Structure 1
Amino acid sequence: MATIHDVAEKAGVSIKTVSRVLNGGTEVSEKTRKRIEQAMRTLEFTPSAAARMLRGRPTGLVAVIAEKLTTTPDSSEIIKGIQQVCEQMGKVLLIGETGGHADVASRLVADMRERRVEAILFATPFHREVAVEPLLGSTPTALANCFETPGRYMQVVPDDEGGGYAAAQIVLQEGHRKIAFLQLIPGMVATDLRLRGFHRAMREHGVTPDAEWVIHGAEAGEADEFSHLSGAVERLFSGAKRPTAILCGNDKMAMRVIFILQRRGLRVPADVSVVGFDDFRLISEALDPGLTTVALPYREIGELSGRYVLEPGDAPAGTIRVPCLPVMRGTVAAPSATKAMR
Structure 2
Amino acid sequence: MSTIHDVAEKAGVSIKTVSRVLNDASSVSEKTRKRIEHAMQALDFAPSAAARMLRGRPTDLVAVIADQLTTTPDSSEIIKGIQSVCEDLGKMLIIGETGGQAHVASRLVADMRTRRVEAIIFATTFHRPVTVTDTLGQTPAVLANCFEAASRFAEVIPDDEGGGYAAAETVLRAGHRKIAFLQLIEGMVATRLRLQGFRRAMQDHGVRPNDAWLLHGATPGVEDEFAQLRTTIDGLFAGAERPTAILCGNDKMAIRVIFLLQRRGLRVPEDVSVVGFDDFRLLSEASDPGLTTVTLPYREIGALAARRALAKDLAPGIVRVPCRAVLRGTVAAPSGGKAGQ
- What TM-score, normalized by structure 2, do the two folds share? 0.86
Question: Measured at CA, do residues 300 and 136 of structure 1 come closer, stay the same or move farther in structure 2, by a change above 3 Å?
Answer: same
Letter aligned with residue 208 of structure 2: T
Cα distance change on mapping 1:78 and 1:341 into 2, 3 Å: closer
Q: What is aligned with 1:129?
A: 129
Shift of 1:70: 0.5
- Deviation by residue 1:89-147 (Cα, 9 ceiling, x = unmatched): 11110000111111111101100000000000000111000011111111100000000
Identity %: 68
User: In 2 relative to 1, CA 341–142 (structure 1 residues): closer, same or farther, beyond 3 Å?
Assistant: closer
CA 1:95/1:186 → structure 2, altered by over 3 Å: closer, same or farther? same
Aligned CA distance change for structure 1 residues 271 and 341 (closer, same or farther; 3 Å) = closer
The verdict on how the C-alpha distance between 1:326 and 1:86 changes in structure 2, with shifts beyond 3 A counting, is same
1:266 aligns with 2:261: no
Cα distance in 2 between the residues matched to 1:185 and 1:340: 26
Question: Match of 1:124, as an amino acid?
Answer: T
| TM-superposed deviation, 1:53 | 2.3
Q: Secondary structure of 1:96's match?
A: strand
Find the counterpart in structure 2 of residue 318 from structure 1.
317
Shift of residue 220, structure 1, vs aligned partner: 1.0
Deviations 1:303-332 (A, max 9, x none): 10000111134x776200000000000000
**In structure 2, what residue type is equivalent to 1:202?**
M
5+ residue gaps in structure 1? 9-16, 26-40
Cα 1:252–1:18 change in 2 (3 A) is: farther
> Aligned equivalents of 2:98 and 2:253: distance in 1?
27
Matched-pair contact (CA < 8 Å) for 1:276–1:291? yes
**Structure 1 residues 144 and 153: alpha-carbon distance in aligned structure 2, compared to 1, 3 A threshold:** same
Verify: 1:250 aligned to 2:250, yes or no: yes
Counterpart for residue 73 of structure 1 = 73
Equivalent position of 1:335 in the other structure = 334
Conserved 8 A contact 2:291-2:328: yes
Call closer, same or farther: CA 1:251–1:340 in 2, change over 3 Å. closer
Alpha-carbon distance in 2 for matches of 1:109, 1:22:
29
User: 1:238: which partner in 2?
Assistant: 238
After TM superposition, the structure 1 = structure 2 runs for residues 218-233 of structure 1, keeping only pairs within 5 Å, are 218-233=218-233
AA at the equivalent of 1:185:
I
Match status 1:183 vs 2:183: yes
Counterparts of 2:55 and 2:192 in 1: how far apart (Å)?
50
What is the 5 A alignment of 1:103-142? Answer: 103-142=103-142
Aligned to 1:168: 168
Is the 1:166–1:325 contact (alpha carbons within 8 Å) kept by the matching residues of 2?
yes
In the alignment, structure 2 segments of 5+ residues that lack a partner are 6-13, 23-42
From the superposition, tell whether residues 164 and 19 of structure 1 become closer, same or farther in structure 2 (CA, over 3 Å).
farther
Q: CA deviation at 1:49?
A: 2.6
Counterpart in the other structure of 1:59: 59
8 Å Cα contact 2:69/2:124 also seen in 1: yes
CA contact (8 A) 1:217 1:249 kept: yes
Is the 8 Å Cα contact of residues 183 and 249 (structure 2) preserved in structure 1?
Answer: yes
RMSD of the TM alignment (CA)? 2.4
User: Once the 2 structures are TM-superposed, how far is the Cα of residue 56 of structure 1 from its aligned partner?
Assistant: 2.3
1:45/1:141 Cα in 2 relative to 1: closer, same or farther (>3 Å)? farther
1:280 aligns with 2:280: yes
Report how far residue 85 of structure 1 moved. Answer: 0.6
Distance 1:134 1:304 in 2: 23
Aligned equivalent of 1:13: none
Q: CA deviation at 1:45?
A: 9.3
Q: What number of residue pairs does the alignment pair up?
A: 313
Deviation of residue 51 (structure 1)?
Answer: 2.6
Indicate if the aligned counterparts of 2:153 and 2:316 stay in contact, CA closer than 8 A.
Answer: no
- Whether the 8 Å CA contact 1:22–1:47 is kept in 2: the answer is no
Per-residue displacement from partner, 1:26-48 (whole Å, max 9, x unpaired)?
xxxxxxxxxxxxxxx9xx99534
Letter of the 2:254 counterpart: A
Question: When the two structures are superposed, what TM-score results if normalisation uses the length of structure 1?
Answer: 0.86
The question of whether the paired residues in 1 share the 8 Å contact of 2:158 and 2:297 is answered with yes
Runs of 4 or more, structure 1, over 6 Å off, are: 17-21
Match of 2:207 in 1: 207
Partner residue of 1:198?
198
